[in-house]
Amino acid sequence: WGAGPLHGINTVVTAGPTYEALDPARGFTNRSSGKMGYALAAALANQGAAVTLISGPTALPAPAGVRRIAVTSARQMRDAVWACRGAMDLFVAAAAVADYRPQTVLADKLKKDADTLTVTLVRNPDILAEVAALTPRPFTVGFAAETGDVETKARAKRARKGIDLIVANPIDEAGVGFAGDDNRVILIDKDHAGAWAAAPKTEIARALVREIIKRLPRTASP
Ligand code: C5P
């Protein structure tokens, strides 16, 4: 790992969607591309952090200097994060984790016999909330993809999950959010909220890393 302001900071970044299988051919997922999380992992590594990127299924190459662990489901992502918990100074949760998974994964492909089909979903673990509840805990950064009054919803989410910093982004605006290269974010900590202009995700990642560096308690040895 290189030198830089984050030298010696063990960082875990989650990115991408999760995929929750229903049968061998099908499952539930979402529109996350992973671009924001991958850009953050790259920007953190560029500042010297030791970055483990725990990624759901994406089409993206692993950024240089980053250790990538590929996972599929939310529970696999949680287990991979959990395995890092003993040495984690910074946790950035950029993954779009599925909130629910099918209660049963069918061994055989589901047949279209019935006219209607009901699938029971059960809650997945909230990885970010679990990490935020650790003692001692890493500096925690979460994302909040929201529609409508993004700032109010994200402020409430930051407080509820007990995290240090939340990056809110609207997903009901053209050109920003899930799949695209650009994003528009509102950065919220316990004291204020600041709205940033829309910009490429790579640029937003670099600016977010500067904000993290400003706030991070120094745990690294000199
Ligand atoms: O509550 P919501 O899913 O909107 O919170 C979003 C934030 O929480 C993101 O940072 C996401 O990565 C994280 N999260 C998580 N595990 C979940 C759900 C969300 O880590 N099961």
Q: What is the pTM of this model?
A: 0.95
Tell me what pLDDT residue 180 has. Answer: 79
Confirm if 94 and 53 have CB atoms less than 8 A apart: no
- Please name the residues in contact with 199: beta carbons below 8 A apart, sequence gap of 6 or more: 182, 183, 184, 207
Q: Encoding tokens for residue 106?
A: 């069918």
**Conformational region of residue 16, where left means phi above 0, alpha means psi within -120 to 50, and beta covers everything else:** left
Distances (CA, A) of 47 to 8, 13, 16, 94, 143: 10, 14, 22, 18, 21
User: What does the alpha-carbon distance between residue 45 and residue 209 come to, in Å, rounded to a whole number?
Assistant: 10
Domains and CATH numbers, the chain: 10-215 (3.40.50.10300)
- 208 phi/psi in degrees, rounded to 5: -65, -40
Q: What is the pLDDT of residues 138-149, one digit of tens each?
A: 999 999 989 999
Question: Is 30 part of the annotated catalytic residue set?
Answer: yes
Token pair for 5 = 């302001």
Q: Is the model more confident about 221 or about 174?
A: 174
Please report which confidence band the pLDDT of residue 93 belongs to, taking 50, 70 and 90 as the band edges. Answer: very high
CA distance 222 to 220: 6
Which stretches does DSSP call E strand in 96-202? Answer: 100-102, 121-123, 139-146, 165-170, 182-183, 186-188, 193-195, 199-200
Strands 90-93 and 139-146: parallel
93 within ligand 1 shell (Cβ under 6 A): yes
Nearest CA owner, ligand 1 atom 9: 143
* Ligand 1 neighbour 14 (Cβ under 6 A): yes
With a cut of 60, say whether residue 221 has pLDDT above it.
no
> Ligand 1: distance of its center to the CA of 157 in Å?
10
Question: Quick check: 148 and 172 in contact, CB under 8 A?
Answer: yes
Q: What percent of the chain has pLDDT over 90?
A: 87
pLDDT at 1: 47
Which residues, 6+ apart, have CB-to-CB distance to 125 below 8 Å? 74, 75, 78
ipTM of the complex: 0.96
Decide if pLDDT at 179 tops 90: no
* Chain segment 16-28, per-residue pLDDT in tens: 999 999 999 999 9
Tell how far the Cα of 93 is from the centroid of ligand 1, in angstroms.
7
The yes-or-no verdict on residue 132 having pLDDT over 90 is yes
Q: Compute the distance from residue 221 Cα to the ligand 1 centre, in Å.
A: 31
The rounded mean pLDDT for the chain is: 94
Q: Is 194 helix (H, G, I), strand (E, B) or coil?
A: strand
Model pLDDT, residue 136: 93
